[in-house]
Amino acid sequence: MSHPVSHGSVARRSIATPVLLGLLLVAFALVALAAGSKPFNQTIIDIFLKVIFVVGLWVFVGNSGVISFGHIAFAGLGGYVAAWTTIKPMMKGLSMPGLPDWLMQTEIPYWASAGLAAGWAALWALIFGSVLMRLSGIAASIATFAMLAMVNSIYSNWDSVTAATSSVVGIPIIRSIWPYLIAALIAVFAAWAYGISRHGLALRAARDEPTAAAASGVDIPRARLIAFVISGAIMGMGGALYAHSIGIVTPDTFYLGLTFITLSMLVVGGMGSLSGAVLGVLILSTLIQTLRWLEAGVEIGTTTFALPGGVQEIGLGVVMILILMFRPAGIMGNRDLSLPARAASETKGLQSPKT
């Protein structure tokens, strides 16, 4: 046989991608450590959270080609799991008196709540997905948006267990960057493992040419559902950690704002590859942070140079328009980061298992 390969080698050939992306995240963590400032620490934590969200989104959107406006709902479900399971029972009694007694008495560590949140969000992804995954194209996208609105509406009105639109406070705040880094690494490696799996391949085929995929034996709704559940789990984990990063949740924490910033990051980075998802977050976050910093003013000698307020939003908009004009498939397009020696023969990263 001309190409002796095995499944192990699919993994071996593409492992460089998650490893390089992981090293990049570690580098960001080390910069935060070196800077040693509290606000900067929080910025890096926020970047890691966005990496989790955008990578979670990529697992479904990138592989299926169906744009989802609804994934932040899973983050919201996760965020409230953190509230339900980590706030001190006495405080829960005040803000959410309708919780069942066993849940009221539950107080678990943040990492356990993140795990539980992943499972809870995955369960709801399975339930919603069983219905939604039969739809394709724009119909599916609109349905995911309806799902987001539905979850938001329920959590905004079910005051005995979610405190309705009031902020739920008292979630233990985790200020160390390491748990967020570890969770982001888990998200990246899980997304990579899914991407090279048989289910990931089948779904990308269905994205490119659904008719031919069905004629090849691919059960498209099922292939989409698998991705939907895995991405829901990643979003749920991210939602719980997001709650632990700021200490409070409201239904609107997990609504349109977060939906559009995460989708923008995915589109700008390039939804065709895992590297696009991660780099989209890192590049846009760095840009936003730099513009904020310039707005606040930079002292050079005795003069302070500051950009007028609002430049951050305008600058971000201009950069996004430019990227989409000149690189409509995003910064990375379909390409994944890989080692230079392999780059020539393997431009498709996850998609190519060959040497």
- Cβ-based nearer residue to other proteins, 226 or 282: 226
d(C-alpha 175, C-alpha 45), whole Å:
8
Phi, psi of 249 (to 5 degrees): -135, 145
For tokens 């809870």, name the residue: 120
Query: What tokens does 204 get?
Result: 């990308």
The CB-of-64 to other proteins minimum distance in angstroms stands at: 14
Enumerate residues 176-205 that contact other proteins by CB under 8 A.
196-199, 201-202, 204-205
Interface with other proteins includes 62 (CB under 8 A)?
no
Tokens of 74: 């899973």
Closer Cβ to other proteins, 219 or 313, answer by number: 219
- The reply on whether position 277 binds other proteins by CB under 8 A is no
208 binds other proteins (CB under 8 A): yes
The contact pattern for other proteins, residues 215-244, with x = CB under 8 A and - = no contact, is xxxxxx------------------------
What is the C-alpha separation between 306 and 118, in angstroms, rounded? Answer: 43
Q: Does 6 bind other proteins (CB under 8 A)?
A: yes
CA distances from 207 to 76, 90, 220, 252, 352 (A): 27, 49, 9, 32, 16
Closer residue to other proteins in complex, CB, 92/199: 199
Is the CB of 289 or the CB of 348 nearer to other proteins? 348
3-class SS of residue 3: coil
Q: Is 8 in the site for other proteins (CB under 8 A)?
A: yes
Report the b/e string of 239-263 with b at 16+ CB within 10 A: bbbbbbbbbebbbebbbeebbebbb
Residue whose pair of structure tokens reads 């987001």 in the numeric block: 148
Q: Is 324 exposed, middle or buried (0-12, 13-18, 19+ CB in 10 A)?
A: middle
* Site mask for other proteins (CB under 8 A), range 332-351, x = bound: --x----------x--x--x
The secondary element (H helix, E strand) that includes residue 298 is: strand 298-300
Nearer to other proteins, 129 or 236 (CB): 129
- Answer for which of 103, 150, 212, 322 binds other proteins (CB under 8 A) is 212
Q: Which is nearer to other proteins, 33 or 214 (CB)?
A: 214
| Range 257-276, binding other proteins (CB under 8 A) | 272
Residues in contact with other proteins by the rule CB under 8 A: 1-3, 5-8, 10, 196-199, 201-202, 204-205, 208-209, 211-220, 272, 334, 345, 348, 351-354
